[in-house]
């Protein structure tokens, strides 16, 4: 029984925007630095921009004030203006890990009246718990999960305070 399967449900989120699919896709991918919440980044300092390279195989990453880049992953599928799959390659230690890939699929669907529904699914979350996954290996260490939980709590309190 050493092969415990951990299969958490994918994260699914949707939003309806007033723009058409082409404009929505362009804004989502091309102007990501304008709307990405500053509360959710992985670098050591707050980012000044978030960039997505608009092609399969392109990178997406945050840029810190000193010009340093903190990679999040690769663009896995690029089908403007309706579909996009991003690799979220930030592991359980909040570090970019090229060997770690979870998929974020974003689908843009035209609605009657000109709006667009944006459906997002972040899947393969079980990979956070796989193999020598840091989530499971470092569970008791300050640099591991407990450290992450502490920073969750600190961040949450800071954003509430």
Partner 1 sequence: MSRRSSSAATALAALADPTRRELFERLRAGPRAVGELARGVTVSRPAVSQHLAVLKAAGLVRDTAAGTRRVYEIDPKGLGAIRAWLDDMWGGALQSFSAELDKEIEDGDKTNNSN
Q: Which residues contact partner 1 by CB under 8 A?
A: 1-9, 11, 13-19, 23-24, 26-28, 30-31, 33-37, 39-40, 49, 92, 104, 118, 120, 122, 125-126, 128-129, 135-136, 139-140, 145-146, 148-150, 152-153, 156-157, 159-160
Nearest to 133 by CA among 103, 158, 102, 87: 102
Q: How far apart are CA 1 and CA 158, in angstroms?
A: 41
CB of 7 to partner 1, least distance (A): 5
Nearer to partner 1, 25 or 74 (CB): 25
Do 141 and 135 meet the contact criterion of CB atoms below 8 Å apart? Answer: no
Nearer to partner 1, 35 or 112 (CB): 35
CB of 126 to partner 1, least distance (A): 8
- Evaluated on CA atoms 74, 22, 41, 15, the torsion sign reads negative
Do 17 and 24 meet the contact criterion of CB atoms below 8 Å apart? Answer: yes
Nearer to partner 1, 79 or 142 (CB): 142
């Amino acid at each position: 029984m050493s092969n415990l399967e951990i299969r958490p449900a994918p994260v699914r989120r949707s939003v309806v925007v007033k723009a058409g699919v082409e404009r929505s896709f362009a804004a989502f991918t091309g102007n990501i630095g304008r709307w990405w919440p500053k509360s959710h980044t992985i670098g050591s300092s707050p980012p000044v921009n978030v960039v997505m390279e608009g092609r399969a195989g392109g990178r997406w990453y945050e840029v810190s004030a000193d010009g340093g880049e903190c990679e999040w992953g690769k663009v896995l599928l690029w089908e403007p203006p309706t579909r996009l799959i991003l690799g979220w390659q930030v592991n359980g230690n909040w570090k970019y890990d090229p060997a770690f890939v979870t998929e974020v699929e974003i689908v843009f669907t035209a609605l009657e009246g000109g709006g667009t529904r944006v459906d997002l699914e972040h899947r393969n979350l079980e990979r956070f718990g796989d193999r020598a996954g840091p989530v499971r290996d470092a569970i008791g260490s300050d640099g591991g999960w407990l450290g992450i939980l502490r920073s969750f709590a600190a961040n949450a309190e800071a954003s509430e305070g």
